[in-house]
A and B are shown apart, each in its own frame.
Chain A
Amino acid sequence: AQSVTQLDSQVPVFEEAPVELRCNYSSSVSVYLFWYVQYPNQGLQLLLKYLSGSTLVKGINGFEAEFNKSQTSFHLRKPSVHISDTAEYFCAVHLVQGAQKLVFGQGTRLTINP
């Protein structure tokens, strides 16, 4: 079965600084990878996803992520954060073939300080 580890439960960053949120997954077969964001009092919203092809994926709000198969990682990055990026970020993995289940990491709370 697949699993996801988000290495940081909380990440505080100053406004306009760069940020990286780390995600590692475990699976013996091919996977699709996702990053979702949850703003306060809202449901989850897709930021970006990797299905195949180029390992650098660009998403909404200036975020991007890079799929690294050898390191089984899918870290999320943004070069300059804004106060409005304060939210909880979830990495998730789905098997390409097999169990039809999206498995989420525990989430990383990103706090942007002025």
Chain B
Amino acid sequence: ETGVTQTPRHLVMGMTNKKSLKCEQHLGHNAMYWYKQSAKKPLELMFVYSLEERVENNSVPSRFSPECPNSSHLFLHLHTLQPEDSALYLCASSIGLAGRETQYFGPGTRLLVL
């Protein structure tokens, strides 16, 4: 596979469930990101990892827990979510954290919380 892949592509979960979103990048990049895309709102940066260390946590509720075991993989662990957490969750990667770097996005996981 090439680029940035995300699984699953669709997820329906109840508010008491625990699930995980997975992202994998095949580009040799050192930085990875989680974004939330809700209808009629700008993309919201959630977390940033550089060389497996979290460098940004953009005031995200603790019911979202990221994990970056190596520079190619990024997870978002979900528990006790709320209906307002329903959104498209996008993963991205870049060569480094410099602002000039292009971010490469996966296709997203569309999450519905019932």
Chain A residues near B (Cβ < 8 Å): 4, 32, 34, 36, 41-46, 49, 51, 90, 94-96, 100-107
Contacts and interface: CB of A to CB of B under 8 A. Distances in A.
26 contacts: A4-B42, A34-B102, A41-B107, A43-B90, A43-B92, A43-B105, A44-B105, A45-B105, A46-B102, A46-B103, A49-B100, A90-B43, A94-B100, A96-B99, A100-B55, A100-B56, A100-B97, A101-B48, A102-B45, A102-B99, A102-B103, A104-B43, A105-B42, A106-B41, A106-B42, A107-B42
Contacts of B97: 100
A94 B96 CA distance: 14
B56 A43 contact: no
Main secondary structure of the interface of A (DSSP, over half): strand
B100 A32 contact: yes
Minimum-distance CB pairs A-B, first 4: A43-B105, A94-B99, A104-B43, A44-B105
Given A101-B45, A101-B56, A43 B106 contact: yes
Contacts, number: 53
Contacts of A102: 45, 99, 103
A102 B107 CA distance: 18
Interface string B38-81: 00111101001000000110100000000000000000000000
A106 B43 CA distance: 7
Contacts of B45: 101-103
Q: Which of B40, B42, B45, B103 has the most CB of A within 10 A?
A: B42
Contacts of B103: 44, 46, 102
Nearest to A4: B42
Contacts of A101: 45, 48, 56, 58
